[in-house]
């Protein structure tokens, strides 16, 4: 009987120690998981649906083809600062049965961001390079532009930090470069549209992406 009692006591102690072990480890891992969940992700990849939706809207009410989009990668250097690289593409085709006029632009941009307050709203500064291609029948013209600009935005993180994010923003891009079109029928209005739509002008963005 004594032996049984001693073994029983040993079993109870082992069970208590095991329960304590689970509790302590559960607390430690739970605390670590909480810290990981609350930690701000350092990487964000977004696709700009703003120009795409605008292009599809114009396309739906027009017989011409409009399309635009952008892809951006952001890396947090600190809690309130980050750097980002962005690639943007836009094209407008005014082709019909009588002519074939296509205008397109491609830009490479570097962005710096500051997140004041709680790190939700951001102020963005940008420097970049853009090219513009104009094609009309047998005429092809290629132009270079230097870009600069700024914008204000809001980074919305659904649920815990990380995962799907939404980034609405509004800003303005300036463009330095002169689109001199030789041997083409482009007019002043189209030349202004280049700097106000393709490589510069107001910029309304709606980034949809993923943070990790």
Q: Please tell me whether residues 15 and 51 are part of one structural domain.
A: no
Q: Please tell me whether residues 106 and 195 are part of one structural domain.
A: yes
Q: Please tell me whether residues 170 and 196 are part of one structural domain.
A: yes
Residue 167: what pLDDT?
A: 93
Q: Please tell me whether residues 46 and 148 are part of one structural domain.
A: yes
Q: Please tell me whether residues 34 and 44 are part of one structural domain.
A: no
- Domain tally for the chain? 2
Tokens of 149: 């600009």
Query: Of residues 141 and 207, which shows the higher confidence score?
Result: 207
**Range of the structural domain that residue 9 is part of:** 1-38
Residue 204: what pLDDT?
A: 87
Determine the Cα–Cα distance for residues 87 and 109; give it in Å rounded to an integer. Answer: 6
Pick the closest to residue 50 from 156, 132, 155, 170 (CA basis): 170
Query: Of residues 112 and 161, which shows the higher confidence score?
Result: 112
> Is 60 exceeded by the pLDDT of residue 104?
yes
SS (H, E, C) 48-79: ECHHHHHHHHHHHHCCCEEEEEEEEEEEECCC
Query: Of residues 206 and 52, which shows the higher confidence score?
Result: 206
Residue 143: what pLDDT?
A: 87
> Is 90 exceeded by the pLDDT of residue 124?
yes
Q: Please tell me whether residues 142 and 57 are part of one structural domain.
A: yes
> Is 50 exceeded by the pLDDT of residue 120?
yes
CATH of residue 120's domain is 2.40.160.20
Mean of all residue pLDDT scores within the chain = 77
Q: Please tell me whether residues 194 and 136 are part of one structural domain.
A: yes
Q: Please tell me whether residues 181 and 171 are part of one structural domain.
A: yes
Burial, 21: exposed, middle or buried (Cβ in 10 Å; 0-12, 13-18, 19+)? exposed
Q: Please tell me whether residues 30 and 53 are part of one structural domain.
A: no
Q: Please tell me whether residues 19 and 95 are part of one structural domain.
A: no
Q: Please tell me whether residues 51 and 108 are part of one structural domain.
A: yes
Structural element, H or E, at residue 154: strand 139-154
Q: Please tell me whether residues 84 and 189 are part of one structural domain.
A: yes
Determine the Cα–Cα distance for residues 32 and 21; give it in Å rounded to an integer. Answer: 16
């Amino acid at each position: 009987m004594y032996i049984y009692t001693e073994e029983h006591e040993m079993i109870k102690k082992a069970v208590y120690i095991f329960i304590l072990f689970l509790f302590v480890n559960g607390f430690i891992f739970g605390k670590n998981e909480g810290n990981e969940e609350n930690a701000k992700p350092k990487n964000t990849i977004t696709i700009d649906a703003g120009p795409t939706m605008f292009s599809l809207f114009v396309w739906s009410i027009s017989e011409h083809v409009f399309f635009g989009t952008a892809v951006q990668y952001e890396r947090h250097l600190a809690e309130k600062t980050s750097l980002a690289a962005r690639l943007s593409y836009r094209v407008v085709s005014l082709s019909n049965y009588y002519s074939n006029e296509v205008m397109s632009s491609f830009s490479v941009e570097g962005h710096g961001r500051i997140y004041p307050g709680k790190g939700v709203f951001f102020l963005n500064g940008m420097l970049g390079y853009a090219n513009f291609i104009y094609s009309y029948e047998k005429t092809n013209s290629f132009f270079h532009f230097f870009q600069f600009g700024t914008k204000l935005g809001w980074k919305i993180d659904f649920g815990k930090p990380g995962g799907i994010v939404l980034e609405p923003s509004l800003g303005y891009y300036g463009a330095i470069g002169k689109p001199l079109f030789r041997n083409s029928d482009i007019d002043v209005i189209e030349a202004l549209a280049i700097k106000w739509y393709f490589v510069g002008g107001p910029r309304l963005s709606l980034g949809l992406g993923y943070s990790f």
